[in-house]
Structure 1
Amino acid sequence: MPPPIKHGDIMHRSLKLAAGFLALGFTLSQPACAQNTPYPSKPIKIILAFPPGGSADLIARLVAPAMSERFGQPVIVENRPGAGGAIAIGAVAKAPPDGYTIGVGAAGALAISGIANKRTLYDPLKDLAPIGIMIQAPFVLVANNAFKPKTIADVIAEGKSKPGTLSVGHGGPGTMMHLSTELFKHMSHVDAVVLPYKGTAPATMDAMAGQISLAMSDIPTALPYIKGGRLKAIAVTSGKRSSSLPDVPTFDESGLPKYSATGWIAMVAPAGTPPAIVQRLNTELVAALNQPAIREKIIASGSDPAPGTPAELSQLMRTEITKWETLINEAKIKIE
């Protein structure tokens, strides 16, 4: 026969049960409380995949204060360059998906890195949540003023008449400038020597000095020398003319139909960030980019503001990955 249950035991068990329910209720209420906390309730950090002082740094630091003002919270820019932007974007991919750590990177880190470097530790399509495109920045093919060809058609004719004599410098392996150069070579069937440099500036300087035939430069680097008459601009790589160089034709206009290659910078969050937070970040980013003063400064730096939706950035990333992966495979491009 079981021993009789004492009154004290009943009370003890009741208290333990009540405590358990209270703990369970508190645990279950935690997400609801978190969800009801207005966003943002603390500072937001932008991890920027570029060093201080460049055009991308300028753009991020123009946008951050404008977003901060609308959020009512500080928006802090942290420069974390290296590995073609993969260090910064890799850190974003691993961050908590709560909207307080976001990233700004270029096509190299958001589309090309995973193709060109199989050791990249994140998948742009799986590990990131697109927020929005910030700017588009075409490249410009430049040469010394004594270089005789004036159009892309002239350059192609020169290259085909003297195979292997044209040299084209670019800013480094795996960059958009590198792939834009390879795309020109592939589409035109010109036997040109493609020369990697440690950055755009030295390639541009060598072209200006006549040490190489041509350089695929970014507009912020080349613009002062073009305007100063020290460098010849042959064509811009985008599908439409650049706001910064409205008198310079596109490759398509100048002799290579359907050629198009454009650099871009965009904002992303870690995958799993709530859609409402992604949309809020996009709303404030677009509002900042549409401010007249910010637009004017971005255009003056050599880029074109390109505010858009998360869906548009997602589609751009997919399109760019397919485009450049196809080129790398078809042209058997080695990126080292």
Structure 2
Amino acid sequence: MITRRAFGLASLATLGLPALAAFPDKPIRILVGFAAGGPADTCARLVARLLSDSLGQQVVVENRPGAGGALATRAVKGAPADGHTLLLCAFADVLNPIINPAEANYNLVNDFAPVTRITGVGNVLVVHPSLPVKTVPELVAYARSRPGQLNYGSAGIGSASHLAGELFGGLAGIKVTHVPYKGTAQAQVDMQTGTLAFMFDSLISALPNIQAGKLRALAVTTAVRSPGAPEVPTMVEAGVPEYDLTSWFGLAAPKGTPAPVVERLAGAVRQAIKRDEAVEALLRLGGQPDDMDGAAFERYLRGEDARWKKLFAAGTVRIDK
């Protein structure tokens, strides 16, 4: 007897064969919602080069910065669901619909077909050496005794560095003052001069100043230690339970893209990013290769979506507009 599950799988395989045999039959575009030269763009161009080799078809990167990445995301949402237009999705794509639902006009979980997560990178909590703290608990105690007096910088309202600070304040139960900048460059300068007490900076940007003694690293924001600084504890290890802020990058296709096409893309990326050149490139970004199929990536996205919605609803994280 043919079970319902067996019949469904057989039907899916039959329907997917023509699409898989023909794919890709033209160049593939990867849209990036951020400017050229940044971590998202670097990640996209690495994957584009590797996929071009694996699939035997040209893969090009198209930058469409604006609206916190939402311009590119909306463009891919409306693209043909044939696997030839992909989104370099990022942490911001989960946060945008929560922070600005009307402007975002999409939901990464419901409106896309997740392909794979490429890598996850974290920020590092750094303080100026003049601050009399050497651990996260010491910083918490210092801030608690001076409510609202400690300033921290970020790359702007709603950025990962801003959310990292808000999550820290909310989970640690301290009141600190956010100072938004137009990008991290000036914030990094003010950190080194002592104008800012602390900051959640990208590990790659902060590491040279940490090694030179210009900044002191207290913890990384990811759930596991960073391969770029294995001696630096995580925020959880440092005494802030449930803290996890991972700036990840992945690939997503428009909803309705045939499952065999999604699986082929995911398999090609997962295999390619294990190459030595890819591992080295991702390490330079502060990450390492992931290995998620579409189903695993979807579960991850649903978990992140639910977690951040809960944090905002509880008031643990707040965004001043």
TM-score of the alignment, normalized to the shorter chain, above 0.5: yes
Which secondary structure does the structure 1 equivalent of 2:86 belong to? Answer: strand
Matches within 5 A, 1:102-121: 102-109=86-93, 111-119=94-102, 120-121=104-105
Q: Which amino acid aligns with 2:73?
A: I
1:205 to 189, 203, 206: 189
The alpha-carbon deviation at position 56 of structure 1 amounts to 2.2
The alpha-carbon deviation at position 224 of structure 1 amounts to 2.4
Q: Distance in 1 between matches of 2:122 and 2:34?
A: 18
Matches within 5 A, 1:233-248: 233-248=217-232
Aligned position for 1:67: 51
Q: Distance in 2 between matches of 1:152 and 1:207?
A: 17
Aligned position for 1:304: 288
Q: Distance in 1 between matches of 2:263 and 2:281?
A: 25
Structure 1 residues 67 and 314: CA distance shift in structure 2, 3 A: same
The alpha-carbon deviation at position 264 of structure 1 amounts to 0.6
The alpha-carbon deviation at position 303 of structure 1 amounts to 2.2
Asked whether the 8 Å contact 1:282–1:309 carries over to 2, the reply is yes
Over the aligned positions, Cα root-mean-square deviation in angstroms equals 1.9
2:151 to 167, 177, 190: 167
Percent of aligned pairs sharing the same letter: 36
Asked whether the 8 Å contact 1:44–1:74 carries over to 2, the reply is yes
Q: Structure 1, unaligned stretches of length 5 or more?
A: 1-30
Q: Which amino acid aligns with 2:318?
A: I
Q: Which amino acid aligns with 2:24?
A: P
Aligned position for 2:301: 317
User: Are 2:177 and 1:193 equivalent residues in the alignment?
Assistant: yes
User: Are 2:82 and 1:98 equivalent residues in the alignment?
Assistant: yes
The alpha-carbon deviation at position 198 of structure 1 amounts to 1.6
Q: Which amino acid aligns with 1:55?
A: P
Structure 1 residues 98 and 335: CA distance shift in structure 2, 3 A: farther
Q: Distance in 2 between matches of 1:191 and 1:183?
A: 11
Q: Distance in 2 between matches of 1:131 and 1:146?
A: 46
Q: Which amino acid aligns with 1:308?
A: M
Q: 313-322 vs 88-97, which deviates more?
A: 313-322
Aligned position for 1:334: 319
2:247 to 240, 263, 268: 263
Q: Which amino acid aligns with 1:314?
A: E
Q: Distance in 2 between matches of 1:74 and 1:142?
A: 41
Q: How many residues align?
A: 305
User: Are 2:164 and 1:180 equivalent residues in the alignment?
Assistant: yes
Q: Which amino acid aligns with 2:280?
A: E
Asked whether the 8 Å contact 1:203–1:217 carries over to 2, the reply is no
Q: Which amino acid aligns with 2:78?
A: K
The normalised TM-score by structure 1 is 0.86
Asked whether the 8 Å contact 1:298–1:305 carries over to 2, the reply is yes
Based on CA coordinates, which of the two structures has the bigger radius of gyration?
Answer: 1
Structure 1 residues 36 and 197: CA distance shift in structure 2, 3 A: closer
Matches within 5 A, 1:212-227: 212-227=196-211
Q: Structure 2, unaligned stretches of length 5 or more?
A: 1-14
Q: 40-49 vs 116-125, which deviates more?
A: 116-125
Deviations 1:9-36 (A, max 9, x none): xxxxxxxxxxxxxxxxxxxxxx999647
